[in-house]
Amino acid sequence: MTLALKGIHHLTAITADAPGNLRFYTEVLGLRLVKKTVNQDDTSAYHLFYADGKATPGTDITFFDWPAQRETRGNHAVSRTGLRIAGRASLDYWHARLTEAGVATGAITELDGRASLDFEDPEGQRLRLIDDGGTGEANPWDASSVPAKHQFRGLGPITMAVPDLARTAPVLTELMNMREVRTYEADGASVHVFEMGEGGPAAELHVAVDPSLPAAGQGAGGVHHVAFRAADVEELHAWTERVRGFRVPSSGEVERYYFRSLYFREPNGVLFEIATDGPGFAVDEPMETLGESLSLPPFLEPKRAQIEAGLKPLDRQGKDRT
C-alpha cells in the first residue's frame, strides 16, 4: 500500500505580541485556545495553539512568541493560510464581522473554484477563508463568540511561494506521494495544486510560482512551518525511513508529547513537518479545561518555576487571564 499523508496537521506562525495574538484569535476569530505551552527548543517563548472545540488534528494554527521584526514577504515561505468555513452565508458573516472589527479585509471572490475571503491579522499574518462546502467533520466550540454554523472547520489549503517549481515538485510527488491535480492564476503567480490523502481543501498544498519575487525574511506575521498528518507513530516511522531513503536531511523523529514529529526542508527552503494525529492535547489536561493553565511536557516539568518566571504575562494589565 502506498504511504499517504492524511492532510494538513497544523501550521505554526510567529507573533511578537502574544497578548494581542491571544485576543485576536480567541475574541475576533472565535477560536479556542487548546494548549498554552512553551517552545520546547526555546522555553522563554510561549507556544500558543488555537483550534476547534475538540482540538482536532488539522484544525490548529499555532504561534511562537518571539521578539521579531515583521516578516519580509517573498519566495521560499508559506504565503497564505486557509481557514475552512461552510457556505456563502458564512463568508458574508465573516466579511461583516471582520470589517466591523477593523481587520484588513478584501472582497469575497471566486478563487480556484471556491468562494474565498482574504484578510490579515494585526501583525500582517495572511489568512484566507475558504468555503469548503460543509463536507467532512466539524466540531464547534460552545464558548465561542462566533455562532457554531459560522465557526472555522479547520485548516486548508496552505499556500507557499517559490521561484521555481522544478525543485519543489519532485519532493511533493515522489517523496511525499502528493498528486498535482490542477493549476490556476492568482496575484501574478501560477499556482499548482497538490493534494494528499482523500483530497479536498483540508488536504491541499498550493504552490505559487513567481520568479520575480524577492526572498522572504522570516519574522512576525510570517509562518515558521507547515505540518502534515501521519496517522500514528508506526506510520511516522515509515515516513522517517522514506525521507532517509531519499537522502533528504531531517531532524530525525522528535517527541513533542502531544504528537511525534519529523522535520525537513523542501529544496526551496520551506520547513515541513510530518506529525502524528495522537496522542493529542488532552493527554495532560481535561478536554473541558484545555488551554486554561500552562502545560509543560514531562521533561520540562522540573523546570516549571524557572520557565514561568521567564514568561511575559498574556494579559496586558499584568495578569494571565488564561
In order of their start, the domains of the chain are: 7-310 (3.10.180.10)
Asked, as a colleague might, if the bond just before 279 is cis with ω within 30 of 0, I would say: yes
Q: What is the pLDDT of residue 256?
A: 98
Kindly give, in sequence order, each residue whose CB lies less than 8 Å from that of residue 170, ignoring residues fewer than 6 positions away.
none
Q: What is the pLDDT of residue 316?
A: 52
Three-state DSSP state, 176: coil
Q: Are 141 and 150 within 8 A, CB to CB?
A: no
Q: Are 232 and 57 within 8 A, CB to CB?
A: no
**Amino acid in position 264:** F
d(CA 24, CA 156) in angstroms, rounded, equals 20
Three-state DSSP state, 88: helix
d(CA 5, CA 14) in angstroms, rounded, equals 25
- pLDDT tens string, the chain, 322 residues long: the values are 689 999 999 999 999 999 999 999 999 999 999 999 999 999 999 999 999 999 999 999 999 999 999 999 999 999 999 999 999 999 999 999 999 999 999 999 999 999 999 999 999 999 999 999 998 889 999 999 999 999 999 999 999 999 999 999 999 999 999 999 999 999 999 999 999 999 999 999 999 999 999 999 999 999 999 999 999 999 999 999 999 999 999 999 999 999 999 999 999 999 999 999 999 999 999 999 999 999 999 999 999 999 999 998 897 544 454 4
Cell of 177: 506521494
Q: What is the pLDDT of residue 136?
A: 84
Whole-angstrom CA distances from 208 to 1, 155, 296, 304 are 30, 18, 37, 42
Q: In what order do the strands lie in the sheet with 114-120?
A: 105-111, 114-120, 126-131, 77-85, 154-162, 204-209, 189-195, 179-186
Three-state DSSP state, 24: helix
Q: What is the pLDDT of residue 190?
A: 98
Cell of 84: 475552512
